[in-house]
Amino acid sequence: MSSLSTHVLDTALGRPAQGVPVQLYQGDVVLATGATNDDGRFAFTSTLEPGTYRLQFDVTSYAAATGQDIFFPEVSVTFTVADERHYHVPLLLSPFAFSTYRGS
Please tell me the predicted confidence (pLDDT) of residue 10. Answer: 97
Q: How many Cβ atoms are within 10 Å of 13's Cβ, its own excluded?
A: 14
Query: Nearest to residue 62, comparing CAs of 13, 21, 1?
Result: 21
Question: Any residues with CB less than 8 A from the CB of 11 and at least 6 apart, and which?
Answer: 92, 93, 94
What are the pLDDT digits (tens) for 30-88?
999 999 999 999 999 989 999 999 999 999 999 999 999 999 999 999 999 999 999 99
3-state secondary structure of 90: strand
In DSSP notation, 45-75 reads -S-B-SEEEEEEEEHHHHHHHHT---S-SEE
For the entire predicted model, the pTM comes to 0.93
